[in-house]
């Protein structure tokens, strides 16, 4: 697995908590029975979805991953020095660790500096945690690591019970942008509620930029984003015995530079009925849409305001060379 951005367990990804059961069938039926229809982006990442997202991150137009990777690879020392602080022992906790490609730069540098820390990757995927447990001790000898498999806040509670060391939480990949602004603010407040004064949050955020650049990242010329979104319908077909005709849905992305909301939809090209699990019939009018995901973009000022609203103090920003992305450091007050 490479460069897989984490999904958001219990983060109300689409901002519609009334369908947040965590059960695929129930969430799909609830979303497609709503007005307007929606599907939760937390279900994008089956095996084929993971593969498609890897392809997306390697395509010319999709900039966020490369921007953040540039930050971690070229500003490793600066980030680590901010994390180390006065040199006291700490736990480095990563929400949605994936394959730890970005954080590996920090882990290696911290080990070289003799920092007193342990690494606690959190991921909802047991496969991810197993992968990290096998690979990281080999690639990073001497790393003290405890993998935590489960939902973010459950595992943050568990991490707090492991020791009373200072906590440095990482939430990378602009995954905070996969939530509407109000939900993102609440998520950050919930993270703060699991921390103590002086603990840190290192958060990756995609910034507002030329609207054409943003829209192209979610409407690439190779059609990878389109296939990524349609794959969720194919997953419903496979796992829930549905009969979506993929050719009768069109991928439609939008970006509003004023609000910073980049949204993806699937639009029905005809009047049609879809059967799910032989039990439910979902009717689509011609041109009716399914809301698939949001990728929110922020200004630096908005990032700082979000920190303050969540009872953090914004203390620093690390930017890529184009200033398209920031990894911000917040300290819990």
Kindly compute the dihedral angle of the four CA atoms of residues 106, 108, 110, 116, in this order, to the nearest 10 degrees. 120
What's the confidence (pLDDT) of residue 18? 59
The domain over range 64-207+301-332 is classified in CATH as 2.40.50.100: no
The number of beta carbons lying within 10 Å of the beta carbon of residue 144 is 13
CA 244 – CA 246 distance, rounded (Å): 6
- Cβ(207)–Cβ(323) under 8 Å? yes
What's the confidence (pLDDT) of residue 21? 56
What's the confidence (pLDDT) of residue 20? 60
Based on the number of CB atoms within 10 Å of its own CB, is 164 exposed (0-12), middle (13-18) or buried (19 or more)? exposed
Kindly state the helix (H) or strand (E) to which residue 81 belongs, with its residue range. helix 76-84
Strand partners of residue 291: 38, 265
For residue 203, CA distances in Å to 177, 228, 277, 306 come to 11, 25, 40, 11
The domain spans of the chain are: 17-62+211-296, 64-207+301-332
What's the confidence (pLDDT) of residue 251? 98
Q: What DSSP string describes 173-188?
A: TTGGGGS-HHHHHHHH
Helix, strand and coil content of the chain, in percent to the nearest 5, comes to 40, 25, 35
What's the confidence (pLDDT) of residue 22? 60
What's the confidence (pLDDT) of residue 253? 97
What's the confidence (pLDDT) of residue 236? 97
**What is residue 315's three-state secondary structure?**
strand
What's the confidence (pLDDT) of residue 54? 86
- Cβ(20)–Cβ(12) under 8 Å? yes
Q: Enter the tokens of residue 245.
A: 């005709």
Give me the half-sphere count of Cα atoms (radius 13 Å) on the Cβ side of residue 251.
20
Peptide bond into 235 cis (omega under 30): no
Length of the chain: 333
Question: How many angstroms separate the first and last alpha carbons of the chain?
Answer: 36
Q: For 35, which DSSP code?
A: S
What's the confidence (pLDDT) of residue 328? 98
CA 138 – CA 81 distance, rounded (Å): 25
- Give the chain's residues under pLDDT 50: 1-17
Place of tokens 């990756």: 204
């Amino acid at each position: 697995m490479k460069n897989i951005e984490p999904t958001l367990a219990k983060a109300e990804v689409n901002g519609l908590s009334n369908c947040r059961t965590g059960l695929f069938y129930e969430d799909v039926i609830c979303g497609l029975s709503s007005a307007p229809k929606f599907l939760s982006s937390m279900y994008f990442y089956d095996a084929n979805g993971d593969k498609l997202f890897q392809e997306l991150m390697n395509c010319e137009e999709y900039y966020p991953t490369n921007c953040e990777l540039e930050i971690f690879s070229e500003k490793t020392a600066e980030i680590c020095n901010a994390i180390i602080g006065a040199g006291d022992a700490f736990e480095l906790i990563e929400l949605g660790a994936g394959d730890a490609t970005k954080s590996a730069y920090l882990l290696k540098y911290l080990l070289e500096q003799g920092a007193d820390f342990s690494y606690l990757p959190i991921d909802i995927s047991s496969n991810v945690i197993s992968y990290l447990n096998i690979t990281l001790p080999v690639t990073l000898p001497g790393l003290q690591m405890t993998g935590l498999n489960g939902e973010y806040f459950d595992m943050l509670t568990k991490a707090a019970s492991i020791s009373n060391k200072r906590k440095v939480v990482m939430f990378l990949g602009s995954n905070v942008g996969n939530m509407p602004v109000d939900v993102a603010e609440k998520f950050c407040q919930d993270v703060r509620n699991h921390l103590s004064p002086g603990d840190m949050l290192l958060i990756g955020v995609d910034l507002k930029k030329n609207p054409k650049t943003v829209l192209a990242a979610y409407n690439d010329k190779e059609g990878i984003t389109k296939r990524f979104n349609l794959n969720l319908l194919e997953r419903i077909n496979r796992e829930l015995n549905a009969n979506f005709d993929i050719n009768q849905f069109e991928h439609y992305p939008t970006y509003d530079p004023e609000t910073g909301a980049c949204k993806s939809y699937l639009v029905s090209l005809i009047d049609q009925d879809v059967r799910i699990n032989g039990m439910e019939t979902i009717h689509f009018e011609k041109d009716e849409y399914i809301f698939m995901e949001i990728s929110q973009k922020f200004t630096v000022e908005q990032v700082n305001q979000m920190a303050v609203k969540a009872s953090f103090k914004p203390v620093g920003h690390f930017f890529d060379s184009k200033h398209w992305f920031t990894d911000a450091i917040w300290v819990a007050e």
